Amino acid sequence: MKYQWKLALFAGLQERIGSNIVLIPSDKDELTVSELKTLISTLYPEQAALLHISFIARNHAYATENQLLHINDELAMLPPVSGGEDEVHHSTIANNDQRYEITDKVIHADDVLAKVIIKEHGASLAFVGTTREWTEGVQTVHLEYEAYTPMAIAMMQQIGDEIAEQWSGALCAISHRIGVVDLAETSVIIAVSAPHRDACYEASRYAIERLKQIVPIWKKEIWSDGSEWKGSQHWNPTMPLTE
């Protein structure tokens, strides 16, 4: 019996293969991640190098190479993140407590900070990431961001949980834009509060580095003479963050 495995694609993978969804035929209804990657690489051999360094997400969580997948799982293949649900337009998606959101609307530091400032904490700060014009001599016109939204929200929540565990009582809120972000505009805001300032500084640095490592958001740099999706070629979101 033939099965059709459905795999969502994002960012550079979507552009190279020419579709946001691929259907992969197989005679099995269960495959390991490694087996599924082999099948898709057979269908698209010219993209084998990028497919090899990409990760499979199963039901909004990263899957390891030997993990078993089922035909009914929600599956996505994620190329290296930039920090990469279908892209959302004119909307905001957040988790139940509203501290983590993906939006194509303008975001403001005061709004994100308000989510973490409480009377028990004496320190709070906001990291604000903006679009810069020049990078290593190349002039950027604007950036375009894309996200696997439900999984991005889940990973942001995980970062908040990790921060609360490592810095007792610390709170975190993250807002990230998708779509076009022009020069000097804000793409991401991470707000952190804690009882004392040392924990606040440390947790804020941890949050932005962890976001780059595990949250599936992709950045496309648009130049006057071309464009490129940006991501780490050594990306491994299943590994813990190291200094």
Kindly give the confidence (pLDDT) of every residue in the chain, 243 residues in length, as a single tens digit, with 9 standing for 90 and above: 589 999 999 998 999 999 999 999 999 999 999 999 999 999 999 999 999 989 999 999 999 999 999 999 999 999 986 543 333 333 455 555 689 999 999 999 999 999 999 999 999 999 999 999 998 889 999 999 999 999 999 999 999 999 999 999 999 999 999 999 999 999 999 999 999 999 999 999 999 999 999 999 999 999 988 999 886 544 567 766 654
Confirm whether 64 is domain-assigned: yes
Structure tokens at 140: 């950027």
Is the domain of 73 the same as that of 97?
no
Total domains in the chain come to 2
The amino acid present at 220, given as its one-letter code, is K
CATH code, domain with 195: 3.90.1170.40
Residue 46 lies in a domain: yes
Q: Are residues 69 and 177 in the same domain?
A: no
- 70 and 118, same domain (yes or no): no
126 and 151 inside one domain: yes
DSSP 183-230: TT-EEEEEEEEESSHHHHHHHHHHHHHHHHHHS-EEEEEEETTEEEEE
Alpha carbons within 13 angstroms on the beta-carbon side of residue 195 total: 5
Tell me which residue range forms the domain holding 65: 3-78
Q: Is there a single domain that holds both residue 173 and residue 67?
A: no
Q: Which of 46, 78, 110 is the last residue before a domain boundary?
A: 78
Residue 239 lies in a domain: no
Are the beta carbons of 227 and 21 closer than 8 angstroms? no
Q: Within this chain, do residues 8 and 68 fall inside the same structural domain, yes or no?
A: yes
